[in-house]
Amino acid sequence: MADFDDSRLDDRRVLLRYDEGLRRLAESGARLRSEWFGASARIFGLAESDRPRAVIAVGTDARLIRAVLEPTCPVPFVAWPRQGLPGWVGPLDLVLILASEGSDPALIETAQEASRRGARIVITAPEVSSVAEFAASRSTTLIPTSTGDPLAAVMVVLAALHEMRLGPPVSVESIADAADMVAEACSPYVDLSANPAKELACALADAQPLVWGGSVLAARAGRRVASDLRSVSGRAALSADAHDLMAVIEATKPADPFADPFEDGPQADRRPCLVILDDGDTRSDVTRAVASLRTACSRVDVRTDTIEARESEALARYVMLLQRGRFTAAYLGIGLGASSID
């Protein structure tokens, strides 16, 4: 991959080559509204549902649903990571199947098994899809999706779970507004001097990214952002707990002011850069971890940058952190001349 060139981030001809990926990022809020508009009637129809014995979620973002529901869900909740279902699942349980693409063989098998066991099923999938077909039963509710966006689908599912009195309130409109705010601030038409995502991409240009979020939702956003950074850069971007990141930071040698990147090679100056995802969590363990990480970085001259989202509801803050990180990864890829930023 080529060396990072920040002039590419404001070059309209270069940006035009990445228009599809940037447009998909910018249209996240529109997809949220579209999915909500198409699914709201069926979601409101779930308000009178009986409470299940337990909830089992499978598919993309099942762990995000768990992160949101765990503090308040009145029944046991399981994010099932494997094909099939736990042996105890039966007619008293609710199986959530998140299949925004609609053709995953593992989810098709899980849908068949849930139907065979008589479990109640709520599924997000295209109305005409293999997984919707195999999940069909008298106890199945299909929440139709049309955009293929897992983030939009999971927000709609969380709204449905609130109607079923299993989760907290979810304002899809405010979450979509949060995504739009990030898209406006990080637009490719906002130049580097005023664009927070382009600025952070430049900070990561020659760095080994470390990503940390203190709250459960910020940590989940961090894992997604790190995955995007790995994809566009080919570097081992790491998202982990503060304890694990501390070990990486403390093993870093202090910066050598006399190092010559031309003589020592392009990898010689690739030092860690810590990106903190701050959603305003003020719990004592989070504030202590932030202070410890910053102190350790200062001691060995490791740069720290912060992505902040301190307003609105928890899920809106999550989406703001996630989208800012995704725009940053996209601009890092553009600066490095990546073939794709999807």
Report the 10 Å Cβ neighbour count for 137. Answer: 14
Continuous segment of H or E residues that includes residue 169:
none
Phi, psi of 162 (to 5 degrees): -65, -45
Average pLDDT in the 262-281 region? Answer: 79
User: How far, in Å, CA of 80 to CA of 323, rounded?
Assistant: 26
User: How far, in Å, CA of 210 to CA of 232, rounded?
Assistant: 15
User: How far, in Å, CA of 209 to CA of 332, rounded?
Assistant: 11
pLDDT at residue 273 in the model: 97
269 falls in which pLDDT band (50, 70, 90)? low
Place of tokens 């299940």: 52
Tens of pLDDT, residue by residue over 73-104, are 999 999 998 888 999 999 999 999 999 887 88
Q: Residues of the chain with pLDDT > 90: what percent?
A: 80
Average pLDDT in the 22-37 region? Answer: 96
Mean pLDDT lowest for which of 108-112, 253-257, 328-332? 253-257
Average pLDDT in the 14-41 region? Answer: 95
Tens of pLDDT, residue by residue over 225-259, are 999 999 999 999 999 999 999 999 999 988 776 66
Q: What one-letter code names the amino acid at 250?
A: E
Predicted TM-score of the model (pTM): 0.93
- Domains of the chain with CATH codes: 6-26+175-336 (3.40.50.10490), 48-163 (3.40.50.10490)
Average pLDDT in the 20-41 region? Answer: 95
Full strand arrangement of the beta sheet holding 77-79: 77-79, 55-59, 94-98, 120-125, 140-144
pLDDT at residue 257 in the model: 67
1 falls in which pLDDT band (50, 70, 90)? low
User: How far, in Å, CA of 282 to CA of 218, rounded?
Assistant: 13
- Residue 338: CB partners within 8 Å, gap ≥ 6? 1, 232, 233
- Enumerate the β-bridge partners of residue 95: 56, 121
The SS3 of residue 148 is coil
pLDDT at residue 262 in the model: 59
Average pLDDT in the 174-184 region? Answer: 97
